[in-house]
Structure 1
C-alpha cells in the first residue's frame, strides 16, 4: 500500500473507533453498479436541444436549458431520472464494505437507493432524510442517518437538478445546509465518487472555512490520477492533468486531503483494509473446558483471567459467548481491567452473548447457531482455546468450538487455534498449521511460525499469553 494510503488508514481508523466519521458519496459510487452518470442521463435530452452532450461541461445548465425549452415543464426530465434510476441495480463491493464500518452518517447527492439498501442488508436501521419535513423527525433506534441532499428517486419532482433548483436551494432546503455544516465541523468526512463541482457543497465548505480558520477538521477525498484517454491529444491531457493538480491544491483551503489512486480497484482494497483493521480490533474467544487436565482448574482459570485482562489492556475488544468452564474467567479478567482503568466503557470493551440453557433442545440448537453467527460477525480475529466437554461419561472435543471455527472461516475471519491448550484447539491447530495457505493466508511466515510454536505443550499456561497478544497485535497493525 502507498505510504499516503497507509497513513490514511491509520488516521481514519482512529476516527472510526471514536465514532467521528462520515461518508459523502457522489455519482461515482453508483456508476459501477450499472447506473448511468449525469452525462449519459442527459444525453437524450440534449438531442432535443441540438446540443452535443460530449462538448458540455456545465450539465446543470443543460438540464435548465431543457426545462426552459419545454416551457418550464419538467415531465421529460423527471422521466429521464426514473428511466435511469428505477431499474434494479446491485450494490458494489464498495457499498458493502462501507456498510460494514461503524459509520452512522452518510451524505449523498445521489438519488438512487443503493446506500440505504446495502445498510439494511447488514441489519441496520436507517433513517432517510431526503426532504425538509424529514429533517424534523428522528426514526426510533436508528443506526445510520442517510442525508440525500438532492432528493430521492421516489420524488423526482422534488429532485435538485436544474439551475433554478440550485439557486433556490439555500432557501428551500436550508436545513440540509445547516446539518451538513454541523457534520463537517464535528466529523471526519471521506468523499467518494465526488468531483467537487456541486455549488451547494462548495458554499457549505466555504462557510465552515470562514468560521473555523485555524481549527478545521481534516477531511479526505479519493481521486483517480488523471491518465491519458483514448484519442486524447497530448495538449488536452496536459491540460486536464494540470487542472486536477490545481483542484487538489484548492481543496486544501477546506482541509480536504486528496488521496490519489491509479485504478479504482485500489479504492476497494483501501476500504477492505479499513474493514479488516476495524474488525480485528475485536477478538472472538471460543473456549470451553470440562476436563482441566493436565494443568488443573485453578491454573486454567488463572490463565483465562490473565488473558482477558491482557487483551483489554492492549486495547483489544473481546467478544465471547461465555463458553462452559472457562468463558466466565475470560470475562472476569477483562471486566476487572475495564473497571480498573475506566478508560473505556464496558460495552466498548466487551461483547457478550451468554448462551441460553433452558428450553426445547431443537429450538436451542437453532438459537445457538444464530448467536454464534451474530457474535462472530463482530470480530476480525477468532481465538480457540481448549474445547472439551463431557459426553456419555467421557471427555470429548467440544463440537461447539469446532462449529465456531467453521463459522469464522466462512466469515473470512482470521483463525488462531492455540494447540498448546489441547482438546479441540489442538486438533484445529494441527489442521491449520498443516495447510497455512488455506487456513491462515493473512499470516506472514513469521506469524505462522509463532502460531506453530503455540501448539507445543507447556507446563505454564501463562507463558502463552505474551506471544498470543503479540500475534494479535501484528494482525491489528500495531507492530
Structure 2
C-alpha cells in the first residue's frame, strides 16, 4: 500500500474515532453495483440530439438541450431516471464497509438508495434528506444522516439534472447549500467516486474557501492515475495527464488532498484497512468460570481487573457480555481507569451487554448466537480466558465460549487465547497452535510468534497483561 494511502487511513481513522468524519459519494461509488454514470445515463438523449455521448463532456448542458427541444417538458428525462436508477441493486463491498464504520454524515449527488440500504443492512437507522422539507425534520433514533443533494429516484420530477435545475439550485435548495457549507467547515470529508465537475459543489467549496481562507478544514479524495486509453494519441494522453495534475493542484485551494492510486482496487483496500484498524480499537473479552483452577480465584480477579484497566488506559474499548466469574473484574478495571483519567469517557471505553436470561428454551440458542455475533462484530480483537460452567452434576467446558471463538475466527478477529488458564481457553489455544496459518495468515512472523507465546504464558498478572498489550501493538502494525 502506498505511503500516501496509509497516511490517509491513519488521519481519517482519527477523525472517525473523534466523530468528525463524513463521506461525499459520487457516481463512481455506485457504478460497481451496476448503476450508470452520467455519460451512459444521457446516451439516449445524446443520440436523439444527433450528438456523440463519447466525446461530449458537458452533460448538464446536454440534458438542458434535450429539455429545450421538448419545450421544458421533463417527462422523458424523469422516465430515463426511473429506468436507469429505479431497478433495485445491492450495495457494493465499499458501501458495506462504510456502513459498518460509525460515520454519521453522508452527502451524495447520486439518486440511488445504496447508501441508506447499506446502513439498514448493518442494523442502522438512516435519516434520508432529499427535499428542503426533510431538513427541518429529524427521524427518531437515527444513526446517520444521508443528504441527497440532487434528489432521489423516488421523486424523479424534482431531480437536479439540467442547467435549469442547477441555476435555480441556490433558490430552490438553499438550505442544502447552507447545510453542506456547515459540514465542510466542521467535518472531515472523503470524496469517493466523485469527479469534481459538479457546479453546485464548486460553488459551495468556493464560498467556504472565501469565508475561511487559510483556515479551511482538511478533506480527502481518491483519483485513479490517468492511463493511456486504446487508440488514444500520445498528444491527447499527455494533455490528459497534465490536466489531471492541474486539477489535483487546484483542489488544494479548497484544502482537499488527492490520494492518487494506480487501480481502483487500492481504494477498496484502503477502506478495508480503515475498517480493520477501527475494529482493532475494540477488544472483546470472552471469559466465564465456576471453577478457577489452575490459576485460582485471586489470580483470575487480578488479571481480569488489570486487563480491563490497561486496555482502557491505552485507548481501547472493552466489549464484554459480562461472563460469570470474570466479567465483573474486567468491568471494574475499566471503570477504575476511566474515572482516574480525565481523557476518557466511559461510553468510549466500554460496551457491556449482559446476556438476557429470560429467553424461552426453544429460542435461547438462536437468540444467543445472534447476540454473540452482534457483540463480537463490534471488535477486532478477542481475548479468551478460562471457559467452564457447572451443569449440576459437575464442571464442564463452556460451549458458549467455544461458539464465540468460532464467530471471532469467522470474522477474522485477532484471537488471543490464554491457554494456561485452562478449560475452553486451553482447547481454543491448542486448536490455533495446531494450525496457526488458518487464524493468523495476515500477521507478520513476529506477530504470530508473539501472539502464540501468550497461550503458554503463566506469570504474574501484570506481566501477562503487559505481554498482551505488546502482542496487540505488534499485530496491529502488520
Superposition TM-score tier, normalisation by shorter sequence = over 0.9
Q: Is it true that 1:228 corresponds to 2:228 in the alignment?
A: yes
Corresponding residue number in structure 1 for 2:429: 429
CA deviation string 1:383-437 (max 9, x = no partner): 1111122234332221111010011122222222121222111111111122111
**Distance in 2, Cα, partners of 1:236 & 1:457:** 64
In structure 2, the partner of 1:445 is 445
Of residues 364-373 and 93-102 in structure 1, the stretch that sits farther from structure 2 once superposed is 364-373
1:457 CA drift (Å): 4.9
Q: Which 4+ runs in 1 deviate beyond 6 A? A: none
Alignment of 1:173-192 (within 5 A): 173-192=173-192
Question: Aligned partners of 1:185 and 1:434: how far apart in 2?
Answer: 53
Q: Is the 8 A contact 1:284 1:320 kept in 2?
A: yes
TM-score by length of 1: 0.97
User: Which secondary structure state, in structure 2, belongs to the residue aligned with residue 54 of structure 1?
Assistant: coil
Partner deviation per Cα, 1:179-224 (whole Å, 9 max, x = no partner): 0000000000000000001111011111111111121110000000
Which residue of the partner structure matches residue 171 of structure 1?
171
- Out of 364-373 and 466-475, give the one that drifted further: 364-373
Q: Which residue of 2 aligns with 1:304?
A: 304
CA distance in 2, matches of 1:210, 1:161: 27
Whole-angstrom CA distance in 1 between matches of 2:145 and 2:415:
34
Gapped runs of 5+ residues in structure 1?
A: none
| Contact 1:295–1:459 (CA under 8 A) maintained in structure 2 | no
Q: Distance in 2 between matches of 1:359 and 1:142?
A: 28
* Structure 1 equivalent of residue 75 of structure 2: 75
Q: Are 2:44 and 1:44 aligned?
A: yes
* SS of residue matched to 2:147: strand
Q: Deviations over 1:349-395 (max 9, x none)?
A: 10001123345333443332232111111111111111122234332
State which drifts further: 359-368 or 349-358: 359-368
Consecutive unaligned residues of structure 2, counting only runs of 5 or more, are none
Contact kept in structure 1, 2:108 and 2:149, CA below 8 Å: yes
How large is the Cα RMSD of the aligned pairs?
1.3
What is the alpha-carbon distance in structure 1 between the residues aligned to residue 248 and residue 359 of structure 2? 62
Equivalent residues of 2:24, 2:106 under 8 A apart: yes
Rate the CA distance shift 1:360–1:36 in 2: closer, same or farther, 3 A: closer
CA distance in 1, matches of 2:192, 2:295: 54
Q: Which stretch of the first structure deviates more once superposed, 460-469 or 424-433?
A: 460-469
Q: Which deviates more from structure 2 when the two are superposed, residues 336-345 or residues 192-201?
A: 336-345
2:410 and 2:292 mapped to 1: Cα distance?
A: 30
- Distance change in 2, residues 1:359/1:117 (3 Å): closer
Check the 8 A contact 2:293/2:422 in 1, yes or no: no
**8 Å Cα contact 1:28/1:192 also seen in 2:** yes
Is residue 311–residue 318 contact of structure 2 (8 Å, CA) maintained in 1? yes
Judge which range, 269-278 or 33-42, deviates more: 33-42
Pairing 1:53-452 to 2, within 5 Å after superposition: 53-452=53-452
SS in 1 for 2:213: coil
Question: Which string of whole-angstrom CA distances, capped at 9 and with x for unpartnered residues, describes residues 212-243 of structure 1?
Answer: 11211100000000011111110000011100
In 1, are the aligned partners of 2:306 and 2:461 still within 8 Å (CA)?
A: no
Alpha-carbon distance change, 235 to 385 in structure 1, aligned in 2, over 3 angstroms: same
Q: Name the stretch that deviates more: 453-462 or 160-169.
A: 453-462
Match of 1:464 in 2: 464
Q: Give 1:77 deviation, angstroms.
A: 1.1
Distance 1:170 1:152 in 2: 18
Once the two structures are superposed, what CA deviation does each residue of 1:254-311 show, in whole Å capped at 9, x if it has no partner?
Answer: 0000000100011110000000000110000001122112332112101110111011
> How many Å separate the matches in 2 of 1:10 and 1:453?
29
Tell me, yes or no, if the aligned pair for 1:152 and 1:159 is still in contact at 8 Å. yes
Quote the Cα distance in structure 2 between the aligned partners of 1:178 and 1:94.
Answer: 28
- What SS class does the counterpart of residue 468 from structure 1 fall into? helix
SS in 1 for 2:354: coil
- Any idea what SS the aligned residue of 1:161 has? coil
Determine helix, strand or coil for the equivalent of 2:54: helix
Paired residue secondary structure (2:284): strand
CA distance in 1, matches of 2:457, 2:16: 39
Alpha-carbon distance in 2 for matches of 1:464, 1:421: 11
Q: 1:191 to 1:359 in 2, by over 3 A?
A: closer
Q: Distance in 1 between matches of 2:457 and 2:206?
A: 64
Alpha-carbon distance between aligned partners in 2 of 1:120 and 1:357, rounded to the nearest angstrom: 28
Contact 1:356 1:364 in 2 (8 A): no
Residue in 1 aligned with 2:20?
20
**Offset of 1:53 from its aligned partner?**
1.3
Between 451-460 and 270-279, the greater mean CA deviation after superposition: 451-460
Separation in structure 2 between the aligned mates of residue 328 and residue 119 of structure 1, nearest angstrom: 33
The 1-side partners of 2:365 and 2:217 are apart by: 49
CA deviations on 1:30-71 (whole Å, 9 max, x unpaired) are 111111111111111111111111121111100000000111
Q: How many angstroms apart in 2 are the aligned matches of 1:267 and 1:86?
A: 27
